[in-house]
Structure 1
């Protein structure tokens, strides 16, 4: 009887482990999303700016210019440990040897060429909403940028967060292909939603998170604690941001607020990127922010 019970217990454990292995498996993009026309590097420059790639992947203290060096190295503190932005320049140390499909899997699904999960410090939950052709254009532009031989730094994460396989469970809880702002909105606000929710991933900083680090979409853009522990990221719903659409668009272009203050910290880099967009796209983001439900 004891041997039979032990055997049954072992079988249950094995079945449970097999189930966890299955539900935590990485899910690359379907082939239909990867296949398509070659990317347009010139068009990809605007996608690259809207996506804020340089703001995270330039070296510490470096400045964003027309051809930024995406050598990585910036540290991002969080309650789960410290993440280091990797080298994503077109070099062997970066992503120069990767195929377009491998880059798309990484950015839109959080899946490495090796098949491992990337941590959601890479905002692939937002980039999952990006149009595949826009991503191909972004990649084409990325390949025109200067290469860097800098080696990517390892993340500093304690156990159990160091177990990448468990990110698969996090993805099942937090990955979605639905827009947060749904319902009837203007064509201008619809364009702004695409930029703000997908490309610029505004919610990643401005939305509070739950205990496991997933976004609390019921309080979308309502402000959040700074992951570094330094201050608070502001509420940019209409309940917390009473600027006009013109004020918002001008801030995204220049960094100047209606109160004659200027953008600082991480937001200064975001404004540098947003300032490279067209006036129409900045106005669209402003229209979107005015369409978001107010959250006190």
Structure 2
């Protein structure tokens, strides 16, 4: 009888302690943590680029709070207007006028959408895009391989921003071929494009890949840049996956991502970029692809003095 009594008492104590621990755990799980993050220092964000045989384009905006909500209307209201934007190659220079989407014709909007890789039908209400560009059939300045370009920006508020970029010499694609989908369900209808190239035998080449699906404009995938650290001087092949528009409302199917339908057209732009732009794009894409509560913080490597963003070269 005494043994039975001791066992019952031990069970009661165990259940009591277990209940207290469970209550503490549940209470701790419900604790709300509020982070008081100060607003960021106001900065101008630069998205500028120039490519071989192309004209320079520059988009100027202001930064937003990290956790703030951004609507198309708010973004449109945040453009930096009436700035003096000058691009020079050391011999010639061009001061580019500001052009806004809302003031363009339908034909001009279509051209601008392809330039920036967006689809018109899925643009949100209140959307506008303002860009500094010459957009001339006989431009003052065009991108040339091996040349260095300087960007100077002067705002009405007295800010001065500078950047420079060098367009490298191109590395050609040696060959390309099509690969069937491995799933028999898609084998008769879907293909993936693979390309091969030979990296030069000097270390320090950097690449970026664009694809243009059915003439919808050149887009990049979630990870579009690479270096030659492990492939220096070697032949290398990889898939040129069809990229998806960033503002597309279609859900991505992991089983068919990157594949094209038989009869479709896929154009591939294989570009070389300089080291500064590789650093910017690599850290930017890593940050964009590492979101979520467990994502590691990333310091994006900008190449704009007194601002954020980049002046990108594309071959």
TM-score by length of 1: 0.28
The structure with the greater share of residues assigned to strand is 2
